[in-house]
Amino acid sequence: MSGTMQAETTLVSLGDLFGLEAIRGLRYGVPPRPTQQDIEDLVPTPDPAYVFTLDEVRRLILWEGGEVGRNLMIGGPTGCGKSSLIEQFCARLNRPLYRFACHGGMLFTDLTGQMTIRADGSTGFVYGPLPRAMREGAVLLLDEGNMAPPKVVGALNTVLDDGPLFLPETGELIQPSPRFRVVATGNAISHGMDAVHYRGTERQNIAYLLRYLQFQTSYKTATEEAAILHRAVPGLPGKVVGLIAEFAHEVRSGFLEGSSPVPVPTRVTRKWAAVLHTRAKALRNDPVNEMLFGLKFVLTDGLQADHAKAIEGTLSRMIDKLTLTDEDFKTGVGIPATIPAQEDPTMELVVLLNPNRGGKNEIRVWVLGSCDRTGKTFTASAGITPFTPFVPKEDISRQDAMIALQQKLNQRGYVHCLDVKLGPSVGIEAARRATDAFTKAVAGAKPVAVSSPAVRDIVSALCKASGTQVELVMN
C-alpha cells in the first residue's frame, strides 16, 4: 500500500482559502499537495465558482483539525451540496479524498478490500478505500451513509473510535494516520419526517450517531445561488441569473414543505445557466421560451408529467413578462446590486444578533462590512428593543474590524446569523434597511416589506435566530 501523506504545513489565510473576508486574518496550516502520483490524483480540483459560508468553514476546520473529533455526519435535503462541500473543502486544503457511495446491498469488504484474480492468473488482495485512507491520512467520504446496512455500520465502530482495522485476509492490523478523517452524508439522518422522501434509508442507532460530530445543512440562499451562477457562467444577464436563483429558492422551499415534488439542486441550475449562455442569441430574442427550454432540457423532461407541469408552471409565472436587451448581455450590466459581476469588488456583510443583551430582553444587531479590493470597512449596530438607530462606523481599519468581530463573538449572547455578499455601494444601505425591517417584524407588523433579496435574506436570518415569526413581501 501507499505511504502516509506528508505532514509539513504552511500557514495560509482562511479568508484567502475560502473567499470569506471575515476570517482573512485567521491562518491555518495547509499541507503541500502529495508528491506520490496515485495519492495526488485523489485531491479534488477546486471549483472557482463555489461559495462557502462562515458557518460551514468554522465547523469543517474544527473537524479537520481533529481535536474535537475526527468523524463528521452531514445531514440535509437531497441536492443541497453535502458531498460537494467536502470535495471543495478538501480541494482547498490539498487533502486526498476517497469517495464511496453506500447502498443497501453493500458489504464491509466493499470498504476494506478483497482477494481477486490478477491478469496473470495469480490471486492477491486489493485494498479498499478504508485501509488506504487510514494509512495515507486521507479523508473517507461515505456518500449516503445512512443507506449502509446495520452490519456494515457496526463493523465501522472500532475505526470510528480511532481504533485499528484488522484485515483477516492479510493478517494486517492497520493503525489510522493522525490525519485520517471520516465524513458521512445522509438525507434523513434522524429518520424523522423528511425520511418519507428517501426510501431505502436505514434507521441508525444512537450509538453510531454519537460517534460523529453533527452538521445539519440545507440549500443555498437565493443570494448565494446567484453568486455561484455568476462565477460559473460569467456574461449571463443578471436578470436571468437572479430569476434562476429565485426560482430554485422557491422550488426548494416547496420541496422542504412538501408542496413541490422535487428540488432544484445547484448542479441543475449551473447546467441550466450554461445552456442559456450557449444559446445567448436565442435567449436574447425569446427569453421566456428559452428559459423554459433550458429547464426542460436539464430537469423536467426527465420527470413524470404532473411533476414537470407543476415545476414549469412555477417558472412560467415568474418569467411571464421577461424581456432582454443587448445592454443586459454586456458584462456587469443588468446584474442586481446583490449579485455583483465577477470582476467587480464585493463587500461581505457578517451579521450577528444578541437576542437577550445583558439578560434584559434587549435585542441588538451588529454588522461588519468589509471589501478587500476597495479597502472599505465598516461596523454598525442597532437596537431593536428598545429601538436605537442604525449607526455605522465607517473607514475603520480592517484589523480593528476583525478585532471587533472576535470580541462580539466572544461576548456572551451574540450569535452569528448570516454572511451575504453585496456590491460595496449598497452594503451599508442593505444592512440599514434590514435592521429597520427586522424592528418592524419584532414589533409584530405583518407583512413586512423588503426591497431586495439581500435585505430579505438578512431579515429572515435575524428572525430565525430570534424566533420571530414574520411574513416578508418584496416591494
Name residues of the chain where pLDDT drops below 70. 1-7, 188-205, 330-346, 372-375, 411-412, 423-426, 475
The reported pLDDT for the residue numbered 203 is 52
Give CA separation, 312 vs 300, 368, 475, in Å.
8, 39, 25
Q: Roughly what angle, to the nearest 10 degrees, separates helices 238-257 and 222-232?
A: 140
With contact defined as beta carbons under 8 Å apart, do 138 and 42 qualify? yes
- Residue 348's contacts (CB-CB under 8 Å, 6 or more residues apart) are 20, 21, 22, 369, 370, 371, 419, 420, 421, 422
Superfamily of structural domain 10-216: P-loop containing nucleotide triphosphate hydrolases (3.40.50.300)
pLDDT digits (tens, 9 = 90+) for 224-276: 898 899 888 988 988 899 899 999 999 998 988 888 889 999 999 999 999 99
Angle CA 281–249–252, to nearest 5: 120
- The x, y and z cell numbers of residue 320, run together, are 411571464
Residues 187-199: tens digit of each pLDDT: 854 434 344 444 4
- Residues of CATH 3.40.50.300 domain(s) within the chain? 10-216
SS3 of 195, please? helix
Q: Both ends of the chain: CA-CA distance in Å?
A: 62
pLDDT in the model for residue 344? 45
pLDDT value for 372: 61
